[in-house]
Amino acid sequence: MKVLIADDDQISRMITKAAVEQAGHECLVAVDGDEAWDLFQVHQPGAVVTDLMMPGMNGLDLCRAIRAAEDDSYTYLILVTSHGSRNDVLAGMEAGADDYVTKPLDPFNLRIRLLAAQRITSLHADLARYRSALAEQARRDPLTKLHNRLKLTEDLGALQSFNDPNPDDYCLAMVDVDNFKSYNDLYGHQAGDSALAAIASTLAAEVRDTDGVYRFGGEEFLLVLRGQSVEGAGAVMERVRSAVHGLQIEHSGDPDGVLTISAGLAAYNHAHRAGTEQLLKEADQALYMAKATGRNRVSVSTGGAHRPQ
């Protein structure tokens, strides 16, 4: 564990440093609260042993600053007081400290507290990983392993952030599997699920890592093509459409004899700064046009008008 010591007294620093290193921990040393705060921000130690009274930022201020800066991580804070008065201990705990020791420092007492610190910070790290895994799971479609509509909403919100005066261009592609209901009727829902998973994998494989592929619902998918012009996005979607056709998933109820997809494209660019809801509507209308003009094709929205590729 990485331990930060903050103390303006040289002898106390030396005793504390020796105790920390004898316990097998990596040690960082600061001579006042300001330096300790700078070191904390750079190194993110698992534990901090800080004197209560120091020049600049005192121990209470340092505890408050560390607690305010924490996100998923947790730092175990040990306050060092000169006499351990009740008021000092209470003030330290209210400022965010986990424990305290008194001067003159007893290395054994500090070592015991560092053992507790290691256990507590390890538990917090496990919880942080668990929360991260749950958050990722909540944003994944269990069948296709693609991101879901919750993640799509977050990503579209980031793309059109009001804090960005010059947002990047991007295109949305609404994708639907052609005649999928009849496929399920003919081959069963288990085959339908396998087909959706195969198509989802193909969609993801045909775009860049910087693009987004989402299961929008049922047999519908949505692609977010970042930094793409309408022409570029159209070329991407033609490649995607061809790749799905190339899977050759048999479908006797389709005129092509295999499962195919149709797609509708809408663009966000300097000439068309539409909101996300409007763009989704335009992509959906373009998809409807692709369906109406024969399926297995890509149709492009031009801000209300639509044209096939």
Neighbours of 292 (CB within 10 A): 12
Q: Active-site residues: which are they?
A: 219
Q: Is 204 helix (H, G, I), strand (E, B) or coil?
A: helix
DSSP of 225-284, one letter per residue? EET--HHHHHHHHHHHHHHHHHT--B-TTSTTSB--EEEEEEEEBTTB---HHHHHHHHH
Rg of the chain on CA atoms, in Å? 29
212 φ/ψ angles, rounded to the nearest 5 degrees: -120, 140
Cβ density class 139-172: b for 16+ within 10 Å, e for less = bebeebebbbeebbeebbeebeeeeeeebebbbb
Q: Is the peptide bond before 104 cis (omega within 30 degrees of 0)?
A: yes
Per the CB < 8 A criterion, the answer to whether 75 and 46 are in contact is: yes
For tokens 């261009």, what's the residue? 169
